Amino acid sequence: MNFHRVLVVAGVILLALQCLKFVGVLSAIRWILAYGEGFGTELKKREGDFSETVYWTLLDEAKGKTVLPLGVLEYRLLRFARRRSRLIGRMITLGRALIYDFTAVGLYVVGYLFLAGTPVLKQDAQGIVVYLAWASAGLAVLQLIAIYAEACVSYARIGSYGLGWHGASRYAETRRAGTYFAEAKTLAGAVIYSLVIGAMIFYFSAGHGARFGALTVMQSTPSGVAGDLLNCLYFAVVTFFTADTPDPDNGLARLDTAILVVQAACALIFALTTATLYISPESRSNRVSIVGPPARADEGIDQLDETVEHPEMATPSRRHDILRGFFLGAIVMAIFGVTRNCRRRRATPRTGGSG
């Protein structure tokens, strides 16, 4: 089997994993809307006697298994691994981390885009490999946007993203470090993810039809390839923060630039939503009630079904906070974009035709 066939097989497998992960994120959003608020309330009630067993029980009662493919963050797989021998359990956990974890899938996308875009492998990365790489890049962007959407929905229903339902092992650590620190880490991770994916999209597309005035990918030596990757990362950073662009010269290059700007807008909405929830008086009072006296024991998990049957009982202030964060983020991104375009137009000298 030649390397071209290896790339084709790897691309098909990667697309299958990305599709499954994307569907899983959408399923998680649906679960948060239906059961997130009740689950978060019950989780906070159990702070005194919290354990993995309690966490798994609450997820079962909150129908966490409906999140594809194996429940909320695959908790049923992790529970199965914990109940096996140590060696088998570690192998299952490692397999999940290497095959299905969001970070692992992202690294695979980065690697595939590099192999499909580097001039060193141009003879092997042709035909269907190029289409598979484009599809993988598009799915990676959709996954990132879905993650940002999932975070905002978690804020609206649970009051947190880092604290809400990201695993039993992280819950106690998050409570000790503070929820705001957890949100900041989540935001930083999403931004880094966006920048790396954006840089690799620039790298791949520059060699497959996208023309940039300030960015070319032609080097085949190790030092030259490293220099091209650093240039792509630089332009990904400055484009993400709307400081500059690699001067796109055709439609495909403009699409690449617009995709990164859209991710930047989502990240800004994420950041402003976090800040809004922690600054607004309503959310401060909600957070105080979290650490206040525990609710009566007879209030139980029934609140989950009650929340679904009466969606109007969801905290309206949080919904308003999300809307304020969304529109504020959109306004700020529009101001950034207009300001940058005006600055670039003033800096670009007008040239006349030659006689």
Please answer whether residues 198 and 239 qualify as being in contact, where contact means their C-beta atoms are separated by less than 8 angstroms. Answer: yes
Count the alpha carbons within 13 Å of 119 in the hemisphere toward its beta carbon: 14
Taking the alpha carbons at both ends of the chain, their separation in whole angstroms is: 59
- Predicted confidence at residue 88, as pLDDT, reads 94
- Predicted confidence at residue 253, as pLDDT, reads 93
Average pLDDT over residues 139-157: 87
295: three-class secondary structure by DSSP: coil
Tokens of 137: 């890049």
Is residue 53 in some structural domain?
yes
Is residue 337 in some structural domain?
yes
Least confident of 161-175, 276-290, 323-337: 276-290
Question: Which residue did the predictor score with more confidence, 277 or 304?
Answer: 277
Please answer whether residues 30 and 148 qualify as being in contact, where contact means their C-beta atoms are separated by less than 8 angstroms. Answer: no
pLDDT at 115 over 60: yes
Which DSSP symbol is given to 296? P
198: three-class secondary structure by DSSP: helix
Is residue 75 in some structural domain?
yes
Mean model confidence pLDDT for the chain: 78
Is residue 152 in some structural domain?
yes
Name the domain count of the chain. 1
Prediction pTM value: 0.76
Question: Which residue did the predictor score with more confidence, 308 or 101?
Answer: 101
CA distance 79 to 81: 5
CA distance 98 to 104: 6
What are the start-end ranges of the E strands in the chain?
none
pLDDT at 317 over 80: no
Distances from the Cα of 55 to the Cα of 65, 165, 246, 341, angstroms: 13, 9, 48, 50
Is residue 350 in some structural domain?
no
Q: Which domain holds residue 271?
A: 3-290+314-345
Please answer whether residues 51 and 82 qualify as being in contact, where contact means their C-beta atoms are separated by less than 8 angstroms. Answer: no
Distances from the Cα of 22 to the Cα of 25, 118, 243, 297, 320, angstroms: 5, 27, 30, 37, 27
Is residue 24 in some structural domain?
yes
- Predicted confidence at residue 304, as pLDDT, reads 46
Is residue 18 in some structural domain?
yes
Average pLDDT over residues 71-92: 91
- Which band of pLDDT confidence, cut at 50, 70 and 90, is reported for residue 298? very low
Average pLDDT over residues 174-188: 68
Each residue of 217-261: pLDDT tens digit? Answer: 888 889 999 999 999 999 999 999 888 889 999 999 999 999 999
Each residue of 319-334: pLDDT tens digit? Answer: 555 455 555 555 555 5
- Predicted confidence at residue 328, as pLDDT, reads 53
Q: Give Cβ neighbours of residue 256 (< 8 Å, ≥ 6 apart).
A: 201, 202, 205, 210, 248
Is residue 354 in some structural domain?
no
